[in-house]
Amino acid sequence: MGAMPKKMSFGMGIGFIGGILAMVAMAQAWNGTVDSIYIVGLDLLVLTAFFAVAGTFSKYSPVKGSTMALLSAVAIAVSAVALFYEALPLWMGIVLIVLGLVALLCAACPTVTGWVDANRRA
């Protein structure tokens, strides 16, 4: 087992930051009425997607290297859908999409995918 690439730690940090931002958006969206449930649900979906991205960048990644890029793309898509339905503030949606793109770039790096495929636990 070689040294873990620094992009793995960076990608994990990006996933955690995105998840925390989505958690803030979810907390702000709840106003105690039934009408806010779909907004909270979309924000929860974004939160889950970003924490899943963070989990794929862990030392013992549970997925293959190619799946890391797929989960990052899902986080981008979910953020775009939440932004489209106004479940996220505009600035936060743009920041989350950029964070997802950075995670996608980290996941698409050949050294990261090669290291994950060589060292992951099946």
Using CB atoms within 10 Å of the CB of residue 10, give its burial: 0 to 12 exposed, 13 to 18 middle, 19+ buried.
Answer: middle
Residue 54 maps to a domain:
yes
Residues 13-27 have pLDDT tens digits of 999 999 999 999 999
Instruction: Round to whole Å and give the CA distance between 102 and 34.
Output: 35
Per residue, what are the HEC states of 34-75? HHHHHHHHHHHHHHHHHHHHHHHCCCCCCCCHHHHHHHHHHH
Residue 87 maps to a domain:
yes
Residues 57-92 have pLDDT tens digits of 988 888 888 899 999 999 999 999 999 999 999 999
Threshold 0.85, pTM exceeds: yes
Count of structural domains, the chain: 1
Task: List the domain range (segments joined by +) for residue 23.
Answer: 6-119
